[in-house]
Amino acid sequence: MAPYKNLEEYNIEVTNEVKERFSKIIDEIGEDVNREGLTKTPERAAKAMLFLTQGYQQDAAEILKGAMFKEDYDDMVIIKDIEVYSLCEHHMLPFFGKAHIAYIPNGHIVGLSKIPRIVDVFARRLQVQERLTHDILECLNETLKPKGVAVVIEASHMCMMMRGVQKQNSVTTTSGFRGQFEKIETRNEFLKLISSKLS
């Protein structure tokens, strides 16, 4: 299937193809796709699915490169509590939580908003939490080339809550560290700051 080109307008051909498939699914599960409440549902579901997977059409490195500024600051920069909404690749059900990201600049800082933006680029794909963590980590490491980068994600998986093992309160934590964050003191400072209410 060809990727849709314009995220604002949705490519009509792709939306229609996905819509037809949702229509079939609704029929297969025993519902009446022609009843009033459902007539527009295949189209809504198609648009929602294309929105939630738009990361395939986006280039995270280009987003970062668009706002890199020369700066001598070489202490830790932390952006914590970034909301994450993704889809697990096994069940295509949501997993969601928070990302905490830090880097130590090496001559360049990056526009702060670009970090949550690249989280969304990688989250809006079919993912596992481990790969999402590493995608963000490697993109920052390779594009910004900082002295160090750290990514921690804490998330709950709907496929473990609504179905399957049906555990409501388990949280999965994944993490990745590069450069100076591989040193235990730097890593501990980061972990202390992200758990502090005041940071």
Ligand X SMILES: Nc1nc2c(ncn2[C@@H]2O[C@H](COP(=O)(O)OP(=O)(O)OP(=O)(O)O)[C@@H](O)[C@H]2O)c(=O)[nH]1
Give yes or no for a contact between 155 and 171, defined as CB atoms under 8 angstroms apart: yes
Edge to edge, the sheet with strand 94-104 lists 126-127, 77-88, 94-104, 148-157, 172-179
**165 binding ligand X? (CB under 6 A):** yes
Kindly write down the DSSP assignment for every residue of 23-91, as one continuous string.
HHHHHHTT--TTSGGGTTHHHHHHHHHHHHTGGGG--HHHHHHTTEEE----S-EEEEEEEEEEEETTT
**90 binding ligand X? (CB under 6 A):** yes
Active-site residue, 134 included: no
CB of 160 to ligand X, least distance (A): 5
Q: How far apart are the first and last CA of the chain?
A: 45
The annotation status of 139 as a binding-site residue, yes or no, is: no
Site residues, Zn ion (CB under 5 A): 88, 90-91, 159
CB of 150 to Zn ion, least distance (A): 26
**170 binding ligand X? (CB under 6 A):** no
Q: 62 vs 130, which CB is nearer to ligand X?
A: 130
160 binds, among Zn ion, ligand X, none (CB under 5 to 8 A by kind): ligand X
**129 binding ligand X? (CB under 6 A):** yes
Which residue positions form the known binding site? 88, 91, 159
Active site residues: 88-91, 129, 157, 159
Sequence ranges of the binding site for Zn(2+): 88, 91, 159
